């Protein structure tokens, strides 16, 4: 499939989720939005004790809590990539306060609509939601203090472009905190090509070392993986899309699917020739 075809799959799936509303079965890897007869694993984390949490904005689509490691400060301007119904934006808004600002960007029109409706109910004047593509964001460079994202970059076909854009729009000295899905080992050809697995955050994921190298090659430094957790897919899914050798690779741990939360900083050029990394 082409990049545009993959983006269309993502838009259609997440458009349906937005229209369904908050439902524990509409998560990133559930069957209700994908038309499958088999439930995928739900691996979102609980936000209910976080300040700013709004249940109407939580569609169980995440794979971590990136704000926990984002180092957001009062007055910051925060960008949320793939902001969905606004869940992480509203948590970030509780941290930046009235002095700061939070911007969410999402590819799916239905998600933007839902997020704006949730924001209007909360009467937030410093939170906005903008339609757009993470591979070509509609923002000027060097304007955000912090960027967050939750289980979204795995859905972006060109991750090199995505991290290049993150670097571009961050202020020098700014940083990001991203929760995402990565692979250890190699997925079977069937899993790589399965469109439903792509929209379910699995076959769109990069190999972990490759993912971290993309971040490094984009110019970031102080790259740190704060948290990683193995995601267990049902045996029925694995058996359907893998041969026996590939199944054994999962069972021995040579192949696996993980959620990680990673952060990194954009250097400030100090003029000494180090590229800002001294």
Average pLDDT over residues 53-59: 94
274 in a structural domain: no
Q: What is the model's pLDDT at position 179?
A: 96
Q: Which residue has the higher pLDDT, 196 or 131?
A: 131
pLDDT of 41 above 60: no
pLDDT of 93 above 80: yes
How many Å apart are CA 151 and CA 88, to the nearest integer?
11
Mean pLDDT taken over the chain:
87
pLDDT of 10 above 70: yes
Q: What are phi and psi of 191, to 5 degrees?
A: -65, -35
Q: What is the model's pLDDT at position 275?
A: 57
258 in a structural domain: yes
Confidence of residue 31 (pLDDT cuts 50, 70, 90): very low
Q: What is the model's pLDDT at position 201?
A: 64
Q: What is the model's pLDDT at position 278?
A: 54
Q: What is the model's pLDDT at position 185?
A: 87
Residues ≥6 apart with Cβ < 8 Å to 184: 207, 208, 254, 255, 256, 257, 258
For residue 274, what are the CA distances in angstroms to 173, 223, 267? 14, 17, 10
148 in a structural domain: yes
Helix (H, G, I), strand (E, B) or coil at 127: strand
- Number of folded domains in the chain? 1
Full-model pTM: 0.88
Among 59, 103, 70, which residue's Cα sits nearest to residue 262?
Answer: 70
144 in a structural domain: yes
Q: pLDDT by residue (tens digit) across 130-176?
A: 999 999 999 999 999 999 999 999 999 999 999 999 999 999 999 99
Q: What is the b/e burial string over 112-131, where b = at least 16 CB atoms within 10 angstroms of the residue's CB?
A: bbbbbebbeeeebeebbbee
How many Å apart are CA 251 and CA 31, to the nearest integer?
24
Q: What is the model's pLDDT at position 235?
A: 82
Highest mean pLDDT range out of 46-55, 124-133, 188-197, 203-212? 124-133
Q: Which residue has the higher pLDDT, 86 or 189?
A: 86
Q: What is the model's pLDDT at position 69?
A: 97
Confidence of residue 26 (pLDDT cuts 50, 70, 90): very low
Helix (H, G, I), strand (E, B) or coil at 24: coil
139 in a structural domain: yes
**Domain harbouring 73, CATH code:** 3.40.50.150
Average pLDDT over residues 232-238: 80
Q: What is the model's pLDDT at position 189?
A: 84
Q: What is the model's pLDDT at position 142?
A: 98
Q: What is the model's pLDDT at position 43?
A: 63
Helix (H, G, I), strand (E, B) or coil at 102: strand
Q: Which residue has the higher pLDDT, 189 or 47?
A: 47
51 in a structural domain: yes
272 in a structural domain: no
DSSP string, 225-248: EEEEEEE---HHHHHHH--HHHHH
Q: Which residue has the higher pLDDT, 118 or 194?
A: 118
Q: What is the model's pLDDT at position 230?
A: 87
Residues ≥6 apart with Cβ < 8 Å to 63: 28, 43, 44, 45, 150, 151, 179, 180, 181, 201, 231, 259
Handedness of CA 117, 118, 121, 123 (dihedral sign): negative
273 in a structural domain: no
- Residue 26: give the domain boundaries: 3-265
Q: What are phi and psi of 216, to 5 degrees?
A: -65, -45
Confidence of residue 276 (pLDDT cuts 50, 70, 90): low
pLDDT of 183 above 50: yes
């Amino acid at each position: 499939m082409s990049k545009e075809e993959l983006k269309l799959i993502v838009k259609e799936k997440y458009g349906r989720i937005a229209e369904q509303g908050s439902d524990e079965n509409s998560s990133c890897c559930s069957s209700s939005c994908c038309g499958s007869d088999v439930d995928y694993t739900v691996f979102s984390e609980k936000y209910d004790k976080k300040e700013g949490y709004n249940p109407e904005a939580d569609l169980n689509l995440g794979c971590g809590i990136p704000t926990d490691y984002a180092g957001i400060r009062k007055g910051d301007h925060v960008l949320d990539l793939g902001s969905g119904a606004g869940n992480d934006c509203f948590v970030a808004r509780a941290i930046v306060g009235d002095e700061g600002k939070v911007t969410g960007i999402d590819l799916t029109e239905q998600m933007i609509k839902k997020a704006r409706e949730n924001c209007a109910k909360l009467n937030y004047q410093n939170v906005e939601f903008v339609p757009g593509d993470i591979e070509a964001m509609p923002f000027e460079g060097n304007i955000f203090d912090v960027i967050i994202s939750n289980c979204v970059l795995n859905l972006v076909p060109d991750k090199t472009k995505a991290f290049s854009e993150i670097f571009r729009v961050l202020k020098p000295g700014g940083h990001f905190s991203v929760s995402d899905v990565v692979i250890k080992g190699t997925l079977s050809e069937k899993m790589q090509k399965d469109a439903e697995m792509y929209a379910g955050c699995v076959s769109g994921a990069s190999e972990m070392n490759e993912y971290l190298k993309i971040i490094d090659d984009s110019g970031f430094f102080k790259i740190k993986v704060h948290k990683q957790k193995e995601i267990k897919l049902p045996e029925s899914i694995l058996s359907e899309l893998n041969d026996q050798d590939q199944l054994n690779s999962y069972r021995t741990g040579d192949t696996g699917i993980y959620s990680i939360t990673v952060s990194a900083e954009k250097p400030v050029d100090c003029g000494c020739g180090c590229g800002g990394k001294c």
